[in-house]
Structure 1
Amino acid sequence: MRIGELSARTATSRRLLRYYEEQGLLVSTRCPNGYRDYDESYVDRVLQIRGLLDAGLPTRIIKQILPCLDKPRSIHFPDATPEMIAALEHERDRMTDRVRCLTRNRDAIAEYLDAVLEHNRAEVQP
């Protein structure tokens, strides 16, 4: 698919997709007319990249862990320095804390919404 379609399907700007390619997170082939062509699997890949970036991971770490997200999994770790391992552990722990916080907030919103809906139902009934 061309960059415009990938952009539309992932709600990611073309400029950002080109940046991901510059960073080695995506690889396109070139059509004879010079247009970029992306594999269908890159829809999920871009969404994964965006999720990891939203979680606070830098592109250099994302580039290293992307192979772990593929199936079949092919894990490469030539640059797994102690610093990188520590950074990944820190990011994992930070994500775990964020998941806990999001879960707590989701549950609070659900509880509030249930109470509001119940209250509204009680007001409507005679």
Structure 2
Amino acid sequence: MRIGELATKAGVSVRALRYYEEQGLLAATRSTSGQRHYPEVAAERVRLLQVLYSAGLSSKTIAELLPCVDAKVSTPETRARLAAERDRIDAQIAELVRARDKLDAVIALSTSPLSGCQVVPA
């Protein structure tokens, strides 16, 4: 499929696909006129990349892990790397929960009839 088709199918921009290719995360063949062509499984790869990026993994980390994902091989090193990433995400989640709890406390205080705090709409 061509780059525009893949972008539509995967729900990403053409620019994102070009970036993934530059980073070595996505491969395309080229037609004689230079157009990119992707296999049908490329949409699944792009969705995986989106999940990994949204989890906060860097391009470098993703590039290091993809060969193991592609080969369906799990080594002690890759498991340790993934566990470290999971721990980092867990720490971020805990920090977000603390921030949400603080916001809830402020909301509770600001709904009190005695609170003199008013927010001016932007």
TM-score (norm 1): 0.62
Name the counterpart of 1:92.
Answer: 86
Q: Runs of 4+ in structure 1 displaced over 4 angstroms? A: 74-77, 84-88
Task: Note the C-alpha offset of 1:96.
Answer: 4.6
2 CA distance for matches of 1:35 and 1:49?
Answer: 22
Task: Note if 1:31 corresponds to 2:25.
Answer: no
Name the counterpart of 1:51.
Answer: 51
2 CA distance for matches of 1:49 and 1:6?
Answer: 14
Task: Note if 1:60 corresponds to 2:90.
Answer: no
Which has the higher mean CA deviation after the structures are superposed, 85-94 or 2-11?
85-94
CA separation of 1:39/1:76 partners in 2, compared to 1, >3 Å: closer, same or farther?
farther
Name stretches of at least 5 consecutive residues in structure 2 with no aligned partner.
98-122
Quote the sequence identity (%).
44
TM-score (norm 2): 0.64
Name stretches of at least 5 consecutive residues in structure 1 with no aligned partner.
103-126
CA separation of 1:24/1:86 partners in 2, compared to 1, >3 Å: closer, same or farther?
same
Q: Which residue identity does 1:17 align to in structure 2?
A: L
CA separation of 1:44/1:85 partners in 2, compared to 1, >3 Å: closer, same or farther?
closer
2 CA distance for matches of 1:9 and 1:48?
Answer: 13
Superposition RMSD in Å:
3.0
Q: Which residue identity does 1:25 align to in structure 2?
A: L
